[in-house]
């Protein structure tokens, strides 16, 4: 089973990287590989626990936002404004944006995971995806007009960003990274792109947790599970708060550079071990 310090370490990594555009899936795969941790029992259960923690982070941080969105949409319906007002209209757009990732995830998630995570021989591919999507994030920063807000998101834009979210099934991509990238290309401001990305994360993460919650059954020691949930939730809330404040005045370029540095580290360790 996961040890206590591993639970703290992985919970911290999950909380940070789930919301920063650097790929949580890559980091959770790379940490045990880089430090050569032995295989552990109930790995899938702990993965569910980490995602449950980040789901709690999103729900708690954006609780007021969700109350306003749902209440506004219900009020709009009662007034026969079927498309909703500025806040209420976000609800159907978020739902539409969730559909592509939900459908593609159901069809291909296991095949993608088997290809990337079947063994460590393909771990070098994480360096490729980290680098490529780091470059795309930087390009979006350069060409995005950074002038549109949440109220400017239309249904076609929401669906397109949702299709981009489906790419996050590829490890190393980053769900937040690819949706922020798409939002920037549509001219959203940096804070608006991040906020819409986080709001989109709520239903897709909740759905993933519900589908895999059965993996938490039959655990003999729930201590690491609870630690993982709490740490990823607390760190996740802090990561969301810091990112939303950071992008008010700064660009996402630093995350692109970080991805390239991490990719270089992965390749260095990979070739060192291949030729060892």
* Alpha carbons 132 and 73: distance in angstroms, whole number: 38
| pLDDT tens, residue by residue, 176-192 | 999 999 999 999 999 99
The mean-pLDDT minimum among 58-62, 74-78, 88-92, 148-152 falls in 74-78
Which pLDDT score, from 0 to 100, does residue 122 have? 80
Position 195 pLDDT exceeds 60: yes
Mutual angle of helices 43-61 and 190-212, in 10-degree steps: 140
| pLDDT tens, residue by residue, 242-274 | 999 999 999 999 999 999 999 999 999 999 987
Which pLDDT score, from 0 to 100, does residue 130 have? 96
**Which residues constitute the domain of residue 223?**
4-274
* Alpha carbons 21 and 194: distance in angstroms, whole number: 9
Residue 146's region, left for phi above 0, alpha for psi from -120 to 50, else beta, is left
Cβ-based neighbours of 26, under 8 Å, separated by 6 or more? 17, 126, 129, 130, 171, 172, 174, 262
| pLDDT tens, residue by residue, 119-165 | 666 889 999 999 999 999 999 999 998 999 998 999 999 999 999 99
Position 113 pLDDT exceeds 80: no
Is residue 17 within 8 A of residue 23, CB to CB? The reply is: yes
Is residue 211 within 8 A of residue 53, CB to CB? The reply is: no
pLDDT-above-70 percentage for the chain: 91
Residue 188 φ/ψ, nearest 5 degrees: -65, 150
Domain count, the chain: 1
User: Which of the pair, 209 or 220, is modelled with greater confidence?
Assistant: 209
* Alpha carbons 209 and 186: distance in angstroms, whole number: 30
pLDDT-above-90 percentage for the chain: 65
* Alpha carbons 7 and 266: distance in angstroms, whole number: 22
Q: What is the mean pLDDT of the chain?
A: 89
pLDDT band (50, 70, 90) for residue 84: low
């Amino acid at each position: 089973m996961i040890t206590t310090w591993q639970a703290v370490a992985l919970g911290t990594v999950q909380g940070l990287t789930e919301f920063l555009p650097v790929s949580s899936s890559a980091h959770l795969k790379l940490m045990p590989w880089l430090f050569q941790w032995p295989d552990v029992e109930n790995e899938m259960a702990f993965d569910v626990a980490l995602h449950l923690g980040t789901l709690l982070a999103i729900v708690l941080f954006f609780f007021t936002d969700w109350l306003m969105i749902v209440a506004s949409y219900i009020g709009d319906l009662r007034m026969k404004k079927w498309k909703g007002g500025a806040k209420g209209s976000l609800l159907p757009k978020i739902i539409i944006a969730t559909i592509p990732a939900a459908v593609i995830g159901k069809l291909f998630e296991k095949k993608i995971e088997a290809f990337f995570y079947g063994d460590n021989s393909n771990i070098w591919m994480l360096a490729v995806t980290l680098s490529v999507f780091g470059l795309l994030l930087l390009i979006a920063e350069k060409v995005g007009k950074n002038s549109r807000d949440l109220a400017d998101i239309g249904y076609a834009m929401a669906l397109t960003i949702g299709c981009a979210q489906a790419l996050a099934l590829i490890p190393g991509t980053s769900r937040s990274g690819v949706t922020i990238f798409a939002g920037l290309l549509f001219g959203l401001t940096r804070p608006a792109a991040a906020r819409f990305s986080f709001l989109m994360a709520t239903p897709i993460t909740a759905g993933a947790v519900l589908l895999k919650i059965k993996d938490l059954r039959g655990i003999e020691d729930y201590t690491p599970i609870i630690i993982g949930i709490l740490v990823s939730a607390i760190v996740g809330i802090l990561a969301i708060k810091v990112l939303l404040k950071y992008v008010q005045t700064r660009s996402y370029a630093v995350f692109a550079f970080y991805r390239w540095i991490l990719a270089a580290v992965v390749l260095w360790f990979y070739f060192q071990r291949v030729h060892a």
